[in-house]
């Protein structure tokens, strides 16, 4: 029995040529980078903390501020169920101090909502917000809930302090007092309770920052506003150089 061998057909189609230009490098920003980290974790997310100061317009009441933030939190929770917001909102006579703890994506959307309101033609009752400190990937929450307290103390103008001390010294005092106040909440306020309410200035007056310190930080040009922060946050992490888009690569003679 003989076997017939058929000659193998060779394709006459030319091999595809590789493109002359290098493949595009995927561009991303810090916000997408953080969200990708969160997607890689099951039911977990990186925890961030942010310190904010702002000025309130005349006639602004506690109800106006609390209802605004509660609506923002509820709107975000519809899409991020397990990323609860905790922290502390201190409402002074004309300024507020706000500490927020949550995922970077949630804090991003809280700042974005403020920026959208701030750009509105109608005057928003929270003005001139400044970001004092942002702490990424903190080990644990300090505040178990989101607490609100009105500080009912007379305004004391500490010109001798804010003019004699440097910004670094004021920031050190600011963070030290906030840390002590946070420890007080952590140790004494039970989960599920409403907290000290508007009697915080009576319970621990020695732990409260004077409003003049908040005013000083608000007026300092060294701190950026949320819009500037978000622009930096969304800026691509990779910079496209001329050599990435020019082909062939430039050479020296």
Higher pLDDT, 113 or 6: 113
The second-level CATH assignment, the architecture, of 44-231 is 2-Layer Sandwich (3.30)
What average pLDDT does the segment 34-57 reach? 74
Q: Cα–Cα distance between 214 and 162 in angstroms, integer?
A: 11
Percent of the chain surpassing pLDDT 90? 44
Task: Please state the φ and ψ torsions of residue 150, each to the nearest 5 degrees.
Answer: -90, 125
Give the DSSP per-residue string, 121-178: SSPPSEEEEEEEEEE-S-SS-S-SSEEEEE--------HHHHHHS-HHHHHHHHHHHH
Please say if the pLDDT value at position 100 is more than 90. yes
pLDDT tens per residue, range 172-182: 999 999 999 99
Name the region of 145 (left: φ>0; alpha: ψ -120 to 50; beta: rest): beta
25 pLDDT more than 60: no
Cβ neighbours, 10 Å, residue 40: 8
pTM of the model: 0.74
The rounded mean pLDDT for the chain is 80
Mean per-residue pLDDT for 8-13? 54
Written as six digits, the tokens of 5 are: 């061998």
The predicted pLDDT at position 131 comes to 97
Q: Please state the domain extents for the chain.
A: 44-231
Q: What is the pLDDT of residue 241?
A: 58
Comparing 45 with 135, which gets the higher pLDDT?
A: 135
CA distance 209 to 175: 10
pLDDT grade for 73, boundaries at 50, 70 and 90: very high
Q: What is the DSSP string of 163-184?
A: HHS-HHHHHHHHHHHHHHHHHH
Q: How confident is the model at residue 42 (pLDDT cuts 50, 70, 90)?
A: very low
């Amino acid at each position: 029995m003989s076997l017939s061998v058929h000659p193998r057909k060779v394709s006459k189609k030319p091999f595809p040529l590789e493109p002359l230009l290098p493949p595009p490098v995927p561009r991303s920003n810090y916000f997408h980078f953080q969200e990708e980290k969160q997607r890689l974790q099951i039911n977990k997310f990186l925890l961030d903390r942010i310190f904010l100061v702002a000025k309130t317009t005349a006639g602004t009441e506690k109800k106006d501020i609390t209802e605004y933030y509660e609506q923002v939190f509820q709107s975000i929770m519809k899409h991020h169920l397990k990323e609860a917001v905790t922290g502390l909102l201190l409402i002074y006579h004309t300024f507020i101090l706000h500490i927020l703890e949550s995922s970077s994506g949630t804090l991003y959307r809280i700042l974005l909502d403020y920026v959208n309101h701030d750009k509105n033609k109608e005057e928003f009752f929270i003005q001139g917000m400044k970001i004092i400190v942002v702490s990424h990937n903190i080990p644990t929450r300090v505040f178990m809930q989101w607490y609100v307290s009105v500080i009912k103390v007379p305004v004391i103008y500490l010109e001798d302090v804010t003019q004699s001390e440097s910004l670094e010294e004021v920031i050190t005092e600011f963070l030290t007092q906030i840390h002590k106040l946070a420890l007080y909440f952590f140790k004494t306020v039970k989960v599920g309770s409403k907290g000290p309410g508007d009697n915080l200035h009576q319970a621990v007056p020695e732990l409260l920052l004077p409003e003049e310190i908040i005013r000083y930080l608000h007026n300092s040009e060294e701190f950026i506003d949320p819009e500037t922060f978000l622009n930096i946050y969304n800026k691509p992490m990779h910079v496209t150089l001329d050599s990435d888009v020019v082909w062939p690569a430039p050479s020296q003679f």
